[in-house]
Amino acid sequence: MSTKKKVSKTVRPAFRWLDKYILRDALKSLSYRQRDILKKRFQDNLAIYEIASLLNLKCKEVEWFLAESLSKLRDFCLSDPAFSTNLAPSPST
């Protein structure tokens, strides 16, 4: 009979409560189109070509909007000293 050793992993929550408010403000700083494309990509789980078709854009334009939006979100969040920058799980010992 095989016994498996249980490994205890301490995982920190992905976001603290304060991070949600900072991210909300960061999303508000984006244009409606940027927020719409982010929603379609990550919440609705649509492919880039599906978003392009829905919004009558080229795939490259959708990719540009996504890259630009994610860059702005990252910069906005990381510019706030209260934002959690250490979101990785704790190393298991």
Q: What is the DSSP letter of 92?
A: P
State the helix-helix crossing angle for 59-79 and 48-55, rounded to 10 degrees: 110
pLDDT for res 88: 47
- Distance of alpha carbon 12 from the chain centroid: 17
CB 58 within 8 A of CB 51: no
Distance separating alpha carbons of residues 4 and 28, to the nearest angstrom = 48
| pTM of the entire predicted model | 0.71
Domain range for 62 is 28-79
- Which domain CATH number covers 45? 1.10.10
Kindly state whether residue 74 falls inside one of the protein's structural domains.
yes
Distance separating alpha carbons of residues 79 and 22, to the nearest angstrom = 10
pLDDT along the chain (93 residues), means of 10: 58 70 91 96 97 97 97 90 65 51
**Number of domain units in the chain:** 1
Kindly state whether residue 49 falls inside one of the protein's structural domains.
yes
Kindly state whether residue 87 falls inside one of the protein's structural domains.
no
pLDDT for res 60: 98
pLDDT for res 9: 61
Kindly state whether residue 45 falls inside one of the protein's structural domains.
yes
